Amino acid sequence: MNRIFLINMLLAFTWCMVQGSFTFVNLLFGFAISSGALWLIREQFGTSKYFKRAWLIFGLGVLFLKELLLSVLRVAWLVVKPGNSLKPSFISFPLTVDKPHEITLLANLITLTPGTLSVDVSDDNKTLYIHCIDVSSVDDLRKDIADGFERKIMEALR
C-alpha cells in the first residue's frame, strides 16, 4: 500500500521536473495525473486495492465533516433552547480496535461528533470512557459508535 503511494508521489515529482515548476498546484496536478496512470493499470499490477482504500479514507473524511456539522447544530440547539434539560453521563465503551493509532483516530472522531467527548482510555486499551451531554439510551449509543465510526475505521485502515 505504502509502496504504491510512494510510486504515486515519485511520478508526481517526475511530472514537476519535466514541467520545470515545483509549485504546489503543479505537484497536485501531477499527483492527479499519476494516480490516473496507476488507475489505468489496475488490472495488470493489482493497484485496485489501493484505490479502494483511498476511496474508503475519503469516505471517512466526508462522514467526519458531516458529523461535525450535525454535532455543532445539536450543541447549538441545546444552547439556544430555553431551560436546562441536560442529561449528561460518563459512559464506558468496549473497544474492538486495538492499535494505538486506530484508538487515537476513533477518540478524535468521537470528540467531534454529536454530544460525545472522549475522556480517557483504560491502561489495557480495552475500554474508552466517553462523556455524553444528553443521553437517552446507553446501548443505542454504543451500537451507533460501533456500527458507524469503528467499523469504517476498521474497513479503511486494515
Partner 1 sequence: MLSYITGTLLIVASIFNLIAAIGLLKFPDVYTRMHAASKAGTLGSGLMLVAIAVHSGEATIASRALAGVAFFLLTAPISAHLLARAAYVAGIAPWSGTEIDHLKGHYKDKEGHLSSDDES
Q: Which helix (H) or strand (E) holds 72?
A: helix 48-80
Nearer to partner 1, 8 or 118 (CB): 118
Nearer to partner 1, 37 or 75 (CB): 75
Nearer to partner 1, 48 or 89 (CB): 89
In angstroms, the CA 30 to CA 17 distance is: 10
Q: Which residues bind partner 1 (CB under 8 A)?
A: 23-25, 68-69, 71-72, 75-76, 78-80, 84, 86-92, 94, 107-108, 111-112, 115, 117-124, 126-127, 129, 131, 133, 135, 138
Nearer to partner 1, 25 or 44 (CB): 25
Q: How many CA atoms lie within 13 A of 146 on its CB side?
A: 13
What is the residue whose three cell numbers read 515519485?
A: 10
Tell me the closest approach of the beta carbon of residue 49 to partner 1, in angstroms: 26
Residues 6+ apart with CB under 8 A from 12: 27, 30, 31, 33, 34
* Strand 89-94 relative to strand 116-121, pairing: unpaired
Tell me the closest approach of the beta carbon of residue 12 to partner 1, in angstroms: 15
Instruction: Give how far the C-alpha of residue 17 lies from the chain's centroid of Cα atoms, to the nearest Å.
Output: 33
Tell me the closest approach of the beta carbon of residue 81 to partner 1, in angstroms: 10
Tell me the closest approach of the beta carbon of residue 137 to partner 1, in angstroms: 11
